[in-house]
Amino acid sequence: MTIKVVIFDLDGTLIVYKLKVYEAKEVFIKRLSEIGIDLNHISIHTPIIEIIEGINDLEREEIFKILDEVFSNFEEEAAEEAELREHVKEVLLELKKTGVKLAIASNNSMKSVEKSLEKTSIKEFFDIIITRNDVMDLKPSEKMITEILKMMKVTNKEAVYIGDTIYDILAARRAGVKCIAVTGGANSKDLLFSHNPDYLVEDLREIPRIISKLRDNNVN
């Protein structure tokens, strides 16, 4: 199988991570507490997905409604200041020249993702954008990735996923796609390495070379 689709995470992978995540979590936890959810075992250091999975007293749809109300404000604030990581445009250009399709799978809201892409002038590179609003789930769930595969009509062997966190690695693994982890984002190099991505890169310019190698070698 050849590589037909390259899927990117956004924050920390393509753009510099600026989300005030701890402040957002603090507000989210407060909102949940105000409606009677027991969160004594939760802190701002608890991963969002663990907070959500630990709530049994609310329908998932209601939890995500509150999550979206809280986090969207912080995400849009960060999007206003969005800036590309080094070499992003040249990497996207190089990939597009090879004929692969590009997609984004982001835990952020669609509105903030589109704002970030427009602010950094890279929206035109992407064929599909999937966010938490489309699947009502967050990575490390594989749902965003599998939805992109379905929409692109490709198999998991025909796609590569690129992200900067352990949740990206886990999501890719669950979807059965090759994963390239990039340093310099939200998680440290050592933490990323400990979760065994297929590839670990410090320079985004290594990505086209890896994709080319996978295509040339027809690696499954």
| Predicted pLDDT at 54 | 82
Determine the residue type at 50: E
| Predicted pLDDT at 39 | 80
Q: Rounded to a whole number, what is the largest CA-CA distance in the chain? A: 56
| Predicted pLDDT at 1 | 58
| Predicted pLDDT at 55 | 84
Strand partners, 200: 181
Domain residue limits, the chain: 5-17+82-217, 21-80
| Predicted pLDDT at 60 | 83
- CATH numeric code, 5-17+82-217: 3.40.50.1000
Query: Which of 56, 54, 30 has the alpha carbon at shortest distance from 44?
Result: 30
Burial 194-203 (b: 16+ CB within 10 A, else e): ebebbbbbee
| Predicted pLDDT at 41 | 80
What is the mean pLDDT, run by run of 10 residues, along the chain of 220 residues? Answer: 92 93 93 86 87 82 92 94 95 95 97 96 97 94 97 96 96 97 92 96 96 75
| Predicted pLDDT at 208 | 96
| Predicted pLDDT at 218 | 59
Query: Which of 76, 80, 65, 74 has the alpha carbon at shortest distance from 32?
Result: 65
> CB under 8 Å to 179, separation ≥6 — which residues?
160, 161, 162, 163, 168, 169, 172, 173, 197, 198, 199
> CB under 8 Å to 153, separation ≥6 — which residues?
none
Distance separating alpha carbons of residues 2 and 216, to the nearest angstrom: 8
